[in-house]
Structure 1
């Protein structure tokens, strides 16, 4: 199904919208200090797309960026401040799953977790039996 590999999303105010026309790759969570500060959360949920597969479709055009390392810039909406992801120097855009219109899609489920030692001791997934 061709539409299965089309992902839509955007920022809180709608100025920045995106369309990713490729299968999601490397869905993962990360608890490194940079991700924590970028998102304000103890863990971020990311998914990668080829840079040429992502189009910025909203009236605000592409997001603003902050150079966060020697290989990547963090992307955000200049209007509402929403964080959208990271635009790497390599041909990759990593988008935060919370920005997607349908974040519950099965191809966005994380398959790995980075920097587990940086997450707060209280962070964890509790399985409740029914």
Structure 2
């Protein structure tokens, strides 16, 4: 089993994390919840068992907002950076943009969820 260590955090550094691999379900998503959570049209995610994620920064654990009914979106209460989602099941999904080193092969997305919720102009060759 890959016990790689992944580290990352928010823009201001108050919220930091360490996640121990293996990383699971690396993917991108364009659902409306992800779009509203981030302000971006697509997010890149990777999941870890909750017991393998430790909040290490001076701010402790991130603030959360319940959305949808099975998960809480995680963000820094100081700078507002989106960090991921803490699911009711024992999973923490972290945003790849929050990782210190997000170019590691194990983090490469393997599929894309909710492609149909991207704007029509994104679908290649379609007129605006």
Q: TM-score, normalised by structure 2?
A: 0.92
Q: Which residue of 2 aligns with 1:108?
A: 107
Aligned residue for 1:101, secondary structure, equals coil
- Indicate whether 1:24 and 2:23 are aligned: yes
How far apart in 1 are the matches of 2:55 and 2:123?
A: 34
Q: How many residues align?
A: 124
Aligned residue for 1:61, secondary structure, equals coil
Deviating 4+ runs (over 4 angstroms): none
Aligned residue for 2:37, secondary structure, equals helix
RMSD: 1.6
Q: Which residue of 2 aligns with 1:97?
A: 96
Q: Deviations over 1:97-129 (max 9, x none)?
A: 00000011111110011000001223368xxxx
Q: Deviations over 1:71-112 (max 9, x none)?
A: 000000000000000000000000000000001111111001
Query: Which runs of 5 or more residues in structure 2 are unaligned?
Result: none
Query: Which runs of 5 or more residues in structure 1 are unaligned?
Result: 126-130
How far apart in 2 are the matches of 1:110 and 1:87?
A: 19
Q: Which residue of 1 aligns with 2:84?
A: 85
Q: Deviations over 1:40-64 (max 9, x none)?
A: 1110100000000000000000000
Aligned residue for 2:6, secondary structure, equals strand
Matches within 5 A, 1:116-127: 116-123=115-122
How far apart in 2 are the matches of 1:76 and 1:28?
A: 20
Stretch deviating more after TM superposition (24-33 or 114-123): 114-123
- Indicate whether 1:68 and 2:67 are aligned: yes
